Structure 1
Amino acid sequence: MALVALFSRAKSGYTGSNIDRFLYAFAVYIVPTLIALATIATLIWGTQQFDSKGGVTLPLQVVRDAAGTLDPATALQRMSGAVTTNRFNTQLSEKPVWFEFTVPNMSAEQSTYAELPSRHAQTLSCWVASTLQPLGTADRLNTTNEFSPVKAGFALHLGHLVQPLSILCRGTFSGPAQIAAFGWSGPELRRAALDFQESSGLIAGGLLTLAVFVFVTAMINREWTYVIFAVWLVGNLRLCANAMGWDMQWLGRVIPPDYMQSLRQLTFAAYYLLTAALFASLFRRELKVIGYRWLLKIIQYVGLVLLGAAIVLPYSKFIPTLWVITGFGIAVLIFLLARLVWLTRSRTVLWYVGSLAIVLFATFSEVMGAAFGIKLLVGGVNTVMAALSSSMMAAFAIAEQMRAEREHRRQAQTELRNTYDVTPIGLFTLDAAGHFVRANPALRSMLALQKAEYKVRHWNDYFESGAWGALQALASKGSEGELEMGGAESRGSGERRFLLKATRSNGWIEGSLQDVTERSKAIERLRFLAEHDPLTGSLNRRGVEKAIAAQSEDASSWALAYVDLDRFKLVNDLFGHRAGDEVLKQVATRTRALFANGFPFGRIGGDEFVCVMSRMSIDEAVDCCQRLISALSDTPYQVGNRAFQVKASVGLVECSHGVRVQDALSHADRACREAKKSSSVHMVTYRKGATAFEERAEELKLVETLGRNRLPPGLFLVMQPIMSLAAPTESLNFEVLLRMRAPDGATLPAGKVIVAAEESGNIAAIDKWVLATLLEWVEKHQASLQSTRFICVNLSGGSLNDEQFMEDAFALFARYRHVVPYLCLEITESVALHDLGNTQRFIARVHEMGGKIALDDFGAGYTSFKYLKDLSADALKIDGEFIRTMCAHPADIAIVEAIVALARNLGMRSVAEWVEDIDTLRALKEIGVDYVQGYLIAKPQESGAILSAASAASFVKDPDVLEFIDRIAGSDKSLAFSFDLVDKAGLH
Structure 2
Amino acid sequence: MASVALFSRSKYGRAGSFMDRLLYTFSVFVVPALIAVGTVATLLWAPHQFESNGAVVLPLRVIKDPRSALDPAGAVKALEDQAEVGRFSTQLAETPVWFLFNVPNMSLEQSTYVELPSRHAQTLACWIASTLQPLGVANRQSTTNEISAVKAGFSVHLGHLAQPVPVLCRGTFSGPAQISALGWDGQSLRTSALDFQESSGMIGGGLLTLAVFVFVTALINREWTYVIFAAWLVGNLRLCANAMGWDMQWTGRTIPADFLQPLRQFTFAAYYLLTGALFSQLFRRELKVVGYHWLLGLGQYIGIALLVCSVALPYSRFIPALWLLGGIGIGVLIFLLARIVWLARSRTVLWYVGSLAIVLFATFSDVLGAAFSIKSLSGGVSTVMAALSSSMMAAFAIAEQMRAEREHRRQAQTELRNTYDVTPIGLFTLDSAGHFVRANPALRSMLSLQKTEYKVRHWNDYFESGAWGALQALASKGSEGELEMGGAVARGNGERRFLLKATRSNSWIEGSLQDVTERSKAIERLRFLAEHDPLTGSLNRRGVEKAIAAQSEEGAAWALAYVDLDRFKLVNDLFGHRAGDEVLKQVATRTRALFSAGFPFGRIGGDEFVCVMSGMSIDEAIDCCHHLISALSDTPYQVGNRAFQVKASVGLVECSHGVRVQDALSHADRACREAKKSSNTRMVTYRKGAAAFEERAEELKLVETLGRNRLPPGLFLVMQPIMSLTAPTESLNFEVLLRMRAPDGATLPAGKVIVAAEESGNIAAIDKWVIATLLEWVEKHQASLTNTRFICVNLSGGSLNDEQFMEDVFALFARFRHIVPYLCLEITESVALHDLGNTQRFIARVHEMGGKIALDDFGAGYTSFKYLKDLSADALKIDGEFIRTMCAHPADIAIVEAIVALARNLGMRSVAEWVEDVDTLRALKEIGVDYVQGYLIAKPQESGAILAATSAASFVKDPAVVQFIDSIVGQDKTLAFTYDVPAKAGLH
- TMscore range, shorter length: 0.5 to 0.7
Letter in 1 for 2:673: R
Matched with 1:559 is 559
SS of 2:472's equivalent in the other structure is helix
Alignment of 1:590-605 (within 5 A): 590-605=590-605
Matched with 1:355 is 296
SS of 1:771's equivalent in the other structure is helix
Q: CA contact under 8 A between 1:354 and 1:393: conserved in structure 2? A: no
After TM superposition, give the deviation of residue 825 of structure 1 in Å.
0.9
Letter in 2 for 1:842: F
Matched with 1:64 is none
Matched with 1:956 is 955
Show CA shifts across 1:792-820 (max 9, x none): 21112333344554444434434443332
Q: CA contact under 8 A between 1:763 and 1:796: conserved in structure 2? A: yes
After TM superposition, give the deviation of residue 901 of structure 1 in Å.
5.6
After TM superposition, give the deviation of residue 426 of structure 1 in Å.
0.7
Between the aligned partners of 1:791 and 1:519, the Cα distance in structure 2 is 64
Matched with 1:797 is 797
1:430 lines up with 2:430 in the alignment: yes
After TM superposition, give the deviation of residue 442 of structure 1 in Å.
1.6
After TM superposition, give the deviation of residue 508 of structure 1 in Å.
2.7
1:385 lines up with 2:384 in the alignment: no
Between the aligned partners of 1:978 and 1:672, the Cα distance in structure 2 is 45
Between the aligned partners of 1:870 and 1:860, the Cα distance in structure 2 is 18
SS of 2:689's equivalent in the other structure is coil
Letter in 2 for 1:617: S
Matched with 1:71 is none
Q: CA contact under 8 A between 1:52 and 1:191: conserved in structure 2? A: no
After TM superposition, give the deviation of residue 425 of structure 1 in Å.
0.7
Between the aligned partners of 2:741 and 2:652, the Cα distance in structure 1 is 33
SS of 2:818's equivalent in the other structure is helix
Letter in 2 for 1:663: D
Between the aligned partners of 2:756 and 2:749, the Cα distance in structure 1 is 11
Matched with 2:683 is 683
Letter in 2 for 1:354: L
Between the aligned partners of 1:872 and 1:656, the Cα distance in structure 2 is 53
Q: CA contact under 8 A between 2:728 and 2:953: conserved in structure 1? A: no
Return closer, same or farther for 1:528/1:930 CA change in 2, 3 Å cut-off: closer
Return closer, same or farther for 1:440/1:109 CA change in 2, 3 Å cut-off: closer
Letter in 1 for 2:429: T
After TM superposition, give the deviation of residue 904 of structure 1 in Å.
4.8
Between the aligned partners of 2:635 and 2:936, the Cα distance in structure 1 is 53
Q: CA contact under 8 A between 2:718 and 2:739: conserved in structure 1? A: no
SS of 1:818's equivalent in the other structure is coil
Show CA shifts across 1:48-75 (max 9, x none): xxx9999xxxxxxxxxxxxxxxxxxxxx
After TM superposition, give the deviation of residue 572 of structure 1 in Å.
5.7
Show CA shifts across 1:719-767 (max 9, x none): 3143544666654433222334555554432212222333344434443
After TM superposition, give the deviation of residue 511 of structure 1 in Å.
0.9
Q: CA contact under 8 A between 1:356 and 1:390: conserved in structure 2? A: no
SS of 1:622's equivalent in the other structure is helix
Q: CA contact under 8 A between 1:432 and 1:509: conserved in structure 2? A: yes
Show CA shifts across 1:844-864 (max 9, x none): 222112111122223444446
After TM superposition, give the deviation of residue 471 of structure 1 in Å.
0.8
Between the aligned partners of 2:690 and 2:483, the Cα distance in structure 1 is 51
Letter in 2 for 1:457: R
After TM superposition, give the deviation of residue 512 of structure 1 in Å.
0.4
Return closer, same or farther for 1:870/1:531 CA change in 2, 3 Å cut-off: closer
SS of 1:755's equivalent in the other structure is helix
Letter in 1 for 2:752: K
Between the aligned partners of 1:14 and 1:906, the Cα distance in structure 2 is 117
After TM superposition, give the deviation of residue 469 of structure 1 in Å.
0.7
Show CA shifts across 1:616-644 (max 9, x none): 11111122222333334444556667665
Alignment of 1:580-619 (within 5 A): 583-619=583-619
Between the aligned partners of 1:793 and 1:519, the Cα distance in structure 2 is 58
Between the aligned partners of 1:358 and 1:417, the Cα distance in structure 2 is 42
Letter in 2 for 1:418: N
Q: CA contact under 8 A between 2:731 and 2:980: conserved in structure 1? A: no
Matched with 2:908 is 908
Letter in 2 for 1:716: L
Matched with 1:669 is 669
TM norm structure 1: 0.58
Matched with 2:460 is 460
Return closer, same or farther for 1:633/1:896 CA change in 2, 3 Å cut-off: closer
Between the aligned partners of 1:526 and 1:17, the Cα distance in structure 2 is 73
Between the aligned partners of 1:545 and 1:551, the Cα distance in structure 2 is 10
After TM superposition, give the deviation of residue 920 of structure 1 in Å.
5.9
Letter in 2 for 1:679: S
SS of 2:623's equivalent in the other structure is helix
Letter in 1 for 2:828: T
Q: CA contact under 8 A between 2:822 and 2:982: conserved in structure 1? A: no
Return closer, same or farther for 1:394/1:499 CA change in 2, 3 Å cut-off: farther
Between the aligned partners of 1:745 and 1:574, the Cα distance in structure 2 is 51
After TM superposition, give the deviation of residue 488 of structure 1 in Å.
2.1
Structure 2: segments with no counterpart, 5+ residues:
1-18, 44-63, 68-94, 98-169, 178-214, 229-258, 260-279, 305-318, 341-348, 353-396
After TM superposition, give the deviation of residue 779 of structure 1 in Å.
4.7
After TM superposition, give the deviation of residue 427 of structure 1 in Å.
0.7
Q: CA contact under 8 A between 1:562 and 1:668: conserved in structure 2? A: yes
Between the aligned partners of 1:655 and 1:899, the Cα distance in structure 2 is 46
Alignment of 1:368-383 (within 5 A): 380=321
1:718 lines up with 2:717 in the alignment: yes
Q: CA contact under 8 A between 1:789 and 1:984: conserved in structure 2? A: no
Alignment of 1:338-349 (within 5 A): 346=287, 349=290
Alignment of 1:739-888 (within 5 A): 739-742=739-742, 746-779=746-779, 782=782, 785-863=785-863, 865=865, 868-884=868-884
After TM superposition, give the deviation of residue 464 of structure 1 in Å.
1.5
Between the aligned partners of 1:815 and 1:973, the Cα distance in structure 2 is 40
Between the aligned partners of 2:96 and 2:467, the Cα distance in structure 1 is 99
After TM superposition, give the deviation of residue 715 of structure 1 in Å.
6.6
Between the aligned partners of 2:643 and 2:702, the Cα distance in structure 1 is 45
TM norm structure 2: 0.58
Between the aligned partners of 1:386 and 1:965, the Cα distance in structure 2 is 120
Between the aligned partners of 2:459 and 2:654, the Cα distance in structure 1 is 55
Alignment of 1:82-481 (within 5 A): 346=287, 349-350=290-291, 352-356=293-297, 380=321, 384-385=325-326, 389=330, 412-481=412-481
Matched with 2:483 is 483
Q: Which moved more, 1:968-977 or 1:782-791?
A: 968-977
Between the aligned partners of 2:35 and 2:941, the Cα distance in structure 1 is 115
SS of 2:495's equivalent in the other structure is coil
Q: CA contact under 8 A between 1:52 and 1:192: conserved in structure 2? A: no
SS of 2:296's equivalent in the other structure is helix
After TM superposition, give the deviation of residue 826 of structure 1 in Å.
0.9
RMSD: 5.4
Return closer, same or farther for 1:702/1:590 CA change in 2, 3 Å cut-off: same
Show CA shifts across 1:218-244 (max 9, x none): xx9999xx9xxxxxxxxxxxxxxxxxx
Q: CA contact under 8 A between 2:65 and 2:96: conserved in structure 1? A: no
Q: CA contact under 8 A between 1:358 and 1:386: conserved in structure 2? A: no
Q: CA contact under 8 A between 2:739 and 2:750: conserved in structure 1? A: yes
Return closer, same or farther for 1:53/1:362 CA change in 2, 3 Å cut-off: farther
Matched with 2:694 is 694
Return closer, same or farther for 1:418/1:642 CA change in 2, 3 Å cut-off: closer
Show CA shifts across 1:770-789 (max 9, x none): 33444455456555655443
Q: CA contact under 8 A between 1:637 and 1:644: conserved in structure 2? A: yes
Q: Which moved more, 1:810-819 or 1:672-681?
A: 810-819
Letter in 2 for 1:548: I
SS of 1:480's equivalent in the other structure is coil
Q: CA contact under 8 A between 1:548 and 1:661: conserved in structure 2? A: yes
Q: CA contact under 8 A between 2:900 and 2:910: conserved in structure 1? A: yes
After TM superposition, give the deviation of residue 686 of structure 1 in Å.
1.5
Letter in 1 for 2:669: D
Q: CA contact under 8 A between 1:52 and 1:188: conserved in structure 2? A: no
Between the aligned partners of 1:12 and 1:910, the Cα distance in structure 2 is 118
SS of 1:817's equivalent in the other structure is coil
Q: How many residues align?
A: 679
Q: CA contact under 8 A between 1:721 and 1:734: conserved in structure 2? A: yes
Return closer, same or farther for 1:676/1:347 CA change in 2, 3 Å cut-off: closer
